[in-house]
Amino acid sequence: MSTPSARKFILGLDLDGVVVDFYRALKPVAATWLGKRTEDLTDDFRYGLKEWGLLDKVSGAGGYDLTYPLLHKHAVNQHGIFKNADPIALAPFTLRRLSRLGVHIRIITHRLYVGGLHGESVTQTAEWLEKHDVPYRDLCFVEDKLSINADLYIDDSPKNIEAYRAEGRPCIIFDNPTNRHLGDELRARTWDEVYELVAAAHGRAQG
């Protein structure tokens, strides 16, 4: 039990690829949008999904550009992906356990990176968190995740994990193919493993 004098222990929590099974929800949407079959899209993908045939930027060639931002807009607007994606197994359940332990859950997400979608993105996010009974104290929509303080972070994006590491901030890597080159230090493959790592860090912080 935390006491009024106990220090608050903050978990900085990424959503997509950590709590929300974003890539699994995106795959059939992407396949249809790209004119492919779902089974033709590999599960061994990297950040940006070039392996599925997506481009980073508009090519300027005048053709129909299959860029990730355009797919993202389609997935949010036409498929309500932030509302309809499934959670990663045991994520909401485990977050409720951690909250009961006294962990302060601070969601840190970069979901507003495509313009023109902010209303939908924020609304769908709040609805999803309610629907799945995810406890949280703060909900931060930011690009610069380092601007948000936490005692321990969890993320799956190589860019964010490397940024946290460069600043000496502990970050649990939630395992997926985009981050396997980053080593096994503080890596969790399941939410049971996340619980063990967070509960241990929380216990050390409480002394």
Query: Residues interacting with Mg ion, by CB under 5 A?
Result: 14, 16-17, 156-157
Please check whether residue 6 is in contact with residue 199, taking contact to mean a CB–CB distance below 8 angstroms.
Answer: no
Known active-site residue 43: no
Instruction: Kindly tell me which of 16 and 175 has the beta carbon lying closer to Mg ion.
Output: 16
Buried b (16+ CB within 10 A) or exposed e, 38-70: eeebeeebeeebeebebbeeeeeeeeeebebbb
Q: Say how far residue 172 (Cα) sits from the centre of its chain.
A: 12
Orientation angle between helical segments 68-77 and 118-131, nearest 10 degrees: 60
In the complex, the smallest distance separating the C-beta of residue 178 from Mg ion, rounded to whole angstroms, is 9
Q: How near is the Cβ of 23 to Mg ion at its closest, in Å?
A: 9
Q: Which is nearer to Mg ion, 10 or 18 (CB)?
A: 18
Q: Is there a catalytic annotation at residue 156?
A: no
The nearer residue to Mg ion, 17 or 87, going by C-beta atoms, is 17
Q: Cβ of residue 62: shortest distance to Mg ion, in angstroms?
A: 33
> Which residue in the list 14, 151, 155, 156 is annotated as catalytic?
14
Q: Which residues are catalytic?
A: 14, 16
